[in-house]
Amino acid sequence: MGFLNDLWGKKQKEKQEDGPDAANVRNLSGSFVEHAMDHKQLASAFPRSNIVVDMPINSKGLSQSDAKVRLELDGPNALAPPKEISNLMLFLKQFMNAFWILQVGAGVLSLITYFINTEEQQNLYLAILLFGVVIIMCVMQFFEEKKALAVIRGFSGLLPAKCTVIREGEQINVEAHELVVGDLVYVKTGIRVPADLRIIHCSDLKLEASSITGESEPVEYTAEAVPETISVFESCNVAFNGSFCVDGEGIGIVIKTGEKTIIGQIATLTTDQSNTQSTLDIEVHRFVKIVAVAALGLGLVVFIIGNSMNGWKGSGVLDVLVKGFLVAIVSTIPEGLPTTVSSELTIIAHRMAKKNVYMKKLNVVDAFGATTVVASDKTGTLTQNNMTVTDLWYDSKYLNGLPEISHKMMKTLTDAQKELPLNCLEYPLPDLLELMCMCNKATIEGGEAKKPRKRGETVLSILSGRRDTNMFKPSGKVQPLGQDNPRPAFESQDSVESAKEKAFIGSPSEVALLRYVDDVCSVNEIRDKYNIIFEIPFNSKRKYHVMIVREHASYAFAGDQVAYTVMLKGAPEVVIRRCNTVAKHDGGVPLDEDMMMEFQDAYDHFGNNGRRVIGQDHFHRPRRHQILLGR
What is the Cα Rg of the chain in Å? 33
Instruction: Considering the candidates 6, 66, 183, 377, report the single residue annotated as catalytic.
Output: 377
Q: How far apart are CA 67 and CA 402, in angstroms?
A: 53
Do 522 and 503 form a contact (C-beta atoms < 8 A)?
A: no
Do 185 and 239 form a contact (C-beta atoms < 8 A)?
A: no
- Helix H, strand E, coil C: the string for 35-47 is HHCCHHHHHHHCH
Q: How far apart are CA 170 and CA 61, in angstroms?
A: 8
Q: How far apart are CA 359 and CA 63, in angstroms?
A: 46
Ramachandran angles phi, psi of 302, nearest 5°: -60, -40
Q: Report the phi/psi class of residue 312: left, alpha or beta, with left for phi > 0 and alpha for psi in -120 to 50.
A: left
The secondary structure of the chain in percent helix, strand, coil, rounded to multiples of 5, reads: 45, 20, 40
DSSP assignment of 78-145: SPPPP-PPPHHHHHHHGGGSHHHHHHHHHHHHHHHHHHH-TT-HHHHHHHHHHHHHHHHHHHHHHHHH
377 catalytic, yes or no? yes
Residue 48, burial from CB neighbour count under 10 angstroms (0-12, 13-18, 19+): middle
Alpha helices in 240-387 (DSSP H): 262-271, 279-310, 314-320, 327-332, 336-354, 365-369, 379-382
C-alpha torsion 208→210→214→220, nearest 10 = 0
Do 500 and 423 form a contact (C-beta atoms < 8 A)?
A: no
Do 253 and 200 form a contact (C-beta atoms < 8 A)?
A: yes
C-alpha torsion 509→512→513→518, nearest 10 = 160
Q: How far apart are CA 577 and CA 570, in angstroms?
A: 11
CA distances from 485 to 28, 156, 489, 603, 613 (A): 52, 47, 9, 16, 21
Whether omega before 428 lies within 30 degrees of 0, making that bond cis, reads yes
Q: What are the residue numbers of the active site?
A: 377
